[in-house]
Structure 1
């Protein structure tokens, strides 16, 4: 960042004022709130430089300026003073939940939403795709029904399109082999073992089993509730997000399809500490009016998921960041003690 102290001070004052009231900030207001003893002309010149560098913009309807996503980024990374949040109050809310992991995760999403008045989101731990038993049923030429029975008794079905027309006897033999050797394991574990152990079987039988493992892993993953979102309705009352139909449509598409949001949370789980994605800079949540603040959480020292807050770019980052940080640490403690 190539900004001198005066420019930094004015940018910080502008962002804080804009976050507080949502109105473009003029030079006269900046001269009062920045604490700098500068002439209006000097302030205008500095603001013109900030605009040229892409940190602020001038709405057509006002003489004042508003921060751009790049301006927010500089503010969050270098100028922000984070608020102190009472951790005990957050802890009491989370401890009120059932000790079951899924209840803790749902409660964390609700708590993030209620504390920020935006949307809270938690990417749940990936369930290991453990199976108790599988069956193969021949549906027709080169079409096989894969039946997966989980330890809980849940049943998932997938149709496999095969290169070979397997006989019922071959299908039974393959199912018996998998059930005898791998029952109670996850499909991920089976995938690794198959590479070494299937050399003793015919190639076409091995291909059938590998196809079953891939389809089974996908089926089990899809059956799990991957992401919990709470408080989406809060965003309808945020003028920055609901003021025009295109923003509203993009927001609902984001929550309905979930793919970009889940990818963003998955990326966040690989980083340490709080991550802030401002406007469309992540490409996964391509809305200039929306930001996502995330943090990974752990169970017994291992990162198992990510949580965060989805809100407008014009959010009180100094308050949202510590809320996300504290919630991730408390959820980690609760899951580790479970």
Structure 2
């Protein structure tokens, strides 16, 4: 019988799974005797109560409406099974600036969870919620989206500057989720507020812009207050089917492990095993760094900057 020949894509896919599996045990970030354990921290996940929740309904302006539940109870169960110490619940757009479900999640999570809030500088009354939300919850950042023509902040306006100033006064980071083509709109505020930590979501979405557009994001590494998040890591099975490894190398060279943090792996279908595998895959993409540098990205940097533990 003639043996079946596997394609290059099938080989790469199998090799990736095997590599992640090989690093499953190592992903627990153990410490040497006498050394402090470096925690595993997921800095980017969403929780959803679903479309049938009367207590926590989606906002009328929700751009999407997930039907599957991703609850804090499920999250904590997966964290326990995967050895994840802490996590950041990023308040998602379906709830807009209604943060009742985020508070519910953080109340259940206790000191293991922190939150990112979502407010709108051009929406009357939205920014006025910021101080009270910080009193009610353990909040570490306010998120700003620039992700589509109909989901943009008012660039160059006094309102967006006010959001940045209020976050600075409340000791919050500003968390940016954007397509690279919108980077120019944020840069003046990054410069104006050099003491305000700026978290860059999802590696600056490198595959959703041209190389020249993403190069502007990489050059933000010259600002010491910018932190790059290794999150929403694409695979070659996803469009545009490009290898993310060269981009990760570029970002680690530019920002260094002390200014990078990992996030990802949790969702409605997550299990403890799949959550652990997500961390293992992230580590397998960081093998060009030392073990200590890998540990910093997988938890140490977030512990220091986001004040966990």
Q: TM-score, normalised by structure 2?
A: 0.24
Q: Which has the larger radius of gyration?
A: 1
Between structures 1 and 2, the one with greater helix share: 1
